[in-house]
């Protein structure tokens, strides 16, 4: 499985991650949530690996815009349904390498992830 970075191109955190990958000469494929979409299988894989609480971005503008009913009684299935309906609810970026996943971006976390 190639290295894939999932996100949206105008997100500042995604831009930082892309710059970091390029500066470290790591080949990756960029998957734009909005253009390329997300699948239930992708979200399920990430949630199973990381926990849905790690994948769902409760600090996003999209989260704040949700109805109160959508925010109640959350579980993995409901979180996945919300993220499928509104991909900007996914914490960005999601980095996928083989069967390992990481959300967000911090220089030190990426260094550890790639053992650099």
Q: How far is CA 69 from the centre of its chain?
A: 24
Q: What is the pLDDT of residues 74-89, one digit of tens each?
A: 999 999 999 999 999 9
Provide, rounded to the nearest whole percent, the portion of the chain with pLDDT above 70. 98
Q: Which of the residues are catalytic?
A: 11
Please give the model's pTM, rounded to 2 decimal places: 0.92
Residue 39, pLDDT > 80, answer yes
Q: What is the pLDDT of residue 99?
A: 87
Q: What is the pLDDT of residue 17?
A: 98
Q: What is the pLDDT of residue 1?
A: 53
CATH of 4-113, one of 3.40.50.720, 3.40.30.10, 3.40.50.1220, 3.40.50.300: 3.40.30.10
Residue 116 Cα distances to 36, 52, 109, angstroms? 30, 28, 10
Q: What is the pLDDT of residue 116?
A: 67
User: If pLDDT is split at 50, 70 and 90, which confidence band does 2 have?
Assistant: confident
Cα distance between residue 4 and residue 13, in whole Å: 15
Q: Where are the domains of the chain?
A: 4-113
Contacts of 5 (CB under 8 A, 6+ apart): 14, 17, 18, 21, 28, 29, 30, 31, 93, 94, 95, 96
Average pLDDT over the chain reads 94
């Amino acid at each position: 499985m190639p290295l894939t970075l999932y996100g949206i191109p105008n997100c500042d955190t995604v831009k930082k991650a892309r710059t970091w990958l390029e500066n470290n000469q790591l080949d990756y494929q960029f998957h734009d949530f909005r253009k390329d979409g997300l699948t239930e299988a992708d979200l399920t894989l990430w949630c199973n690996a990381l926990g849905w609480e790690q994948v769902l971005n409760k600090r996003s503008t999209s989260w704040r815009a949700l109805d109160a009913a959508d925010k109640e009684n959350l579980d993995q299935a409901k979180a996945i349904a919300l993220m499928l309906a509104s991909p900007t609810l996914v914490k960005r970026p999601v980095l996928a390498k083989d069967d390992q996943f990481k959300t967000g971006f911090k220089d030190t976390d990426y260094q550890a992830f790639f053992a650099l």
